Each structure stands twice: as C-alpha cells, then as structure tokens.
Amino acid sequence: MTPLTKVESAAIPLALANVDTDQLIPARFMKRPRGDGYGSFLLHDLRAEAGNEAAKLDDPLFQNAEILIARRNFGSGSSREAAVYALADFGIRCVFAPSFGDIFASNAVKNGVLPAQLAEGDIETLLTDGLIAQGGAVRVDLSDQMLHCGNRVFHFDIDPVWKKQLLNGWDDIDMTRSYQNAIEAFVEGDRVKRPWAEPDRDGPVASG
C-alpha cells in the first residue's frame, strides 16, 4: 500500500450525514472484478438524484479532488470494502467527518485512505467555506494531523496505530507472520484450555 503523508488538492464539501456504504457503492455493482475500476460507482445513485449534494462529484471544480468532507456517521452500514475501492479509485485519499462506521474506517486504512475525525463545528465551518466551495486547494499533513485551509488550521484525530500504518504504507500480513511461533504456542495451550472450541465433525449427533 502506498504511504500517505501529505495531500494537497480541492476538497469536496458533501453536506450529508449517515452516508452509508450502500450509498458509497450500490450492491448491484459489486459483482465486478476490482481490476475494472470502481471509481464511476462512487455514490452512483445519489449523484443521479436531482439537486443532491453528491452531484458535486461531477462538478468540474472538483475533478481532481483527493479530499472529501462529510457529516457524521460516514461509511456506516455494510462491511463491503468495495465502498473504499470506489473512493480510492475515484481518487479520494482523505475523508474528514465527525464520526465513521467502524468497519469502514478500518477498511479505509487498509487501502491507504485516511479517515480523519474532525469536530462537528469544524466540519460545518469547512462545509460552508468559500475557498472550498470554489474548488480551492487545501492541504492535509498527516504527521502533525493538520488540515490547512487558507490561513486557518484544523487539528484532526486519527488512531495512532492507523496513522503509523498510513505513514509507512504497511501491510499487516507480513508483520503477523513474524508472530508465527506465538500463534502456534497459543493454539497448543488453547486446545487444553478449551477442548470444546473446535467444530465437532464426528458425524452423527450423540443421543442423551
């Protein structure tokens, strides 16, 4: 995964709360292989709704936006990682919101997308900011957790572990493999402690 340190681009002000993953990518597109690219599916049906905020995704002002600003509970709902694929393939690298769906946030980090938490008041300020509305560039600096917008600066929150992963572009699996001995030792001890934990595959149901 590509490390994420600084991002400078236009930011899409999406004044919507509870943008669930069914909105981020409607289920009917999820049969496609990832190689096809998921960017055009992002917020597909909301983009088509007359007058919806999501129409901004197709506004030339935000053509190269890598940042998205939204209201609370962004990415709630289904665990579909395809929601993050759609964001990433559209070009989004940072999402700012007051709160995120837990599974979505974790999926985002695994794909190099920053789920940055900002206070509700700050989000409302940004959603109505003139520079952002005009497609002006803002700057995200992950190492000091700052969002620079014109001459104003906002401090955002991110889980320290996720921050490190994003900065380094780490992959969990290699790290986990270095724990192989500990995993094996755990399994051995666990068999004694919880002899009932594995599925009973011995066929017919015992009577009584």
Q: Could you say which of 13, 78, 115, 137 contacts other proteins (CB under 8 A)?
A: 78
Residue 16 is classified by DSSP as: -
Site of tokens 């789920």: 115
132 half-sphere exposure, CB direction, 13 A CA radius: 25
Q: Is 182 in the site for other proteins (CB under 8 A)?
A: yes
Q: Which residues, listed in sequence order, are joined to residue 9 by a DSSP beta bridge? A: 138
- Burial class from Cβ neighbours inside 10 Å (0-12, 13-18, 19+) for residue 141 reads middle
Distance separating alpha carbons of residues 92 and 12, to the nearest angstrom: 10
Q: Is 191 in the site for other proteins (CB under 8 A)?
A: no
- Burial class from Cβ neighbours inside 10 Å (0-12, 13-18, 19+) for residue 15 reads middle
**Residues 15-44: x where in contact with other proteins by CB under 8 A, - otherwise, as a string:** xxxx-x-xx--xxx-xx-xx----------
The span of 5-13, 87-95, 132-140, 179-187 binding other proteins (CB under 8 A) equals 179-187
**Residues 126-165: x where in contact with other proteins by CB under 8 A, - otherwise, as a string:** ---------------------------------xxx--x-
Distance separating alpha carbons of residues 172 and 98, to the nearest angstrom: 27
Q: Is 106 in the site for other proteins (CB under 8 A)?
A: yes
Looking at the Cβ atoms of 112 and 136, the one nearer to other proteins is 112
Q: Maximum Cα–Cα distance for the chain, whole Å?
A: 75
Q: Could you say which of 46, 86, 132, 142 contacts other proteins (CB under 8 A)?
A: 46
Pairing of strands 67-70, 6-14: parallel
User: Which residues contribute to the site for other proteins (CB under 8 A)?
Assistant: 15-18, 20, 22-23, 26-28, 30-31, 33-34, 45-46, 71-73, 76-82, 84, 99-104, 106-107, 110-111, 120, 124, 159-161, 164, 172-173, 176-177, 179, 182-183, 186-187, 190, 193-202, 205-206, 208
